[in-house]
């Protein structure tokens, strides 16, 4: 009998990261996994900026929200960018660039877990100064930053995050997200 990939079960938004550098060959496999994702008409709308040079990394980290203080230890951040017209733009607002880029990030996260890394996408950052630092064009969307690092010490985290690191994984019951044949009246 087939089972879920262990990386799917293991991946969580851990925060206790060490500053141990991620080897080039590991970064290459993570990025290869990302670009092998499917996309509408094979348009591959994702654009990734791998940030690991100390000076640039430090400047990017200055623009993380205070709640993402833990990410300042990470040795690797990937800036995930796209633009709606990089991919299929279909009726009813179905701009596939964002969907396809999300699938690519999922590949990246799972490969990172396979490599023994914590992988944590974040939304808490100031996009405009980071776009300026990374020279991202104004019309391109900086969707997320993905933080990568080897497991580190939980003592570096605040009390709330220490508890979260040790807690079990929380998910809704499957029927809270999955229905068959029609939208259930119980969904909001």
Structure pTM? Answer: 0.94
Strand partners, 76: 148
Q: What are phi and psi of 51, to 5 degrees?
A: -110, 115
* Number of Cβ atoms within 10 Å of the Cβ of 106: 16
Residue entry with tokens 């660039």: 97
Cα 122 from Cα 143, distance rounded (Å): 9
> Would the CA dihedral through 52, 26, 66, 81 be positive or negative?
positive
> Under 8 Å CB-to-CB from 175, ≥6 apart: which residues?
none
- Using CA atoms, how far apart are residues 94 and 89, in angstroms rounded to an integer? 6
**pLDDT value at residue 62:** 98
What does each of the 188 residues of the chain score in pLDDT, given as a tens digit? 789 999 999 999 999 999 999 999 999 999 999 999 999 999 999 999 999 999 999 999 999 999 999 999 999 999 999 999 999 999 998 999 999 999 999 999 999 999 999 999 999 999 999 999 999 999 999 999 999 999 999 989 999 999 998 998 888 888 888 999 998 988 87
Give 70-108 pLDDT, tens digit per residue: 999 999 999 999 999 999 999 998 999 999 999 999 999
Q: Which tokens sit at 7?
A: 């990386």
Check residue 171 and give its pLDDT: 86
Sketch out the chain's domains with CATH numbers.
10-165 (3.40.109.10)
Handedness of CA 98, 95, 124, 176 (dihedral sign): negative
């Amino acid at each position: 009998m087939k089972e879920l990939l262990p990386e799917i079960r293991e991946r969580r938004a851990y925060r206790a990261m060490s500053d141990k550098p991620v080897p080039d060959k590991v970064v290459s496999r993570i990025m290869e996994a990302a670009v092998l994702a499917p996309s509408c008409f094979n348009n591959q709308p994702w654009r990734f900026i791998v940030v690991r040079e100390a000076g640039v990394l430090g400047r990017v980290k200055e623009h993380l929200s205070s709640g993402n203080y833990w990410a300042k230890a990470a040795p690797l951040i990937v800036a995930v960018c796209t633009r709606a017209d990089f991919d299929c733009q279909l009726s009813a607002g179905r701009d596939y660039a964002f969907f396809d880029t999300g699938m690519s990030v999922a590949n990246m996260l799972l490969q990172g877990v396979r490599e023994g890394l914590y992988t944590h996408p974040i939304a808490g950052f100031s996009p405009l100064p980071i776009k300026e630092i990374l020279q991202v064009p104004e019309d391109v969307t900086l969707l997320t930053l993905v933080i990568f690092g080897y497991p580190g010490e939980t003592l570096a985290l605040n009390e709330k995050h220490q508890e979260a690191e040790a807690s079990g994984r929380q998910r809704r019951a499957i029927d809270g997200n999955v229905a068959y044949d029609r939208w259930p009246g119980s969904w909001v």
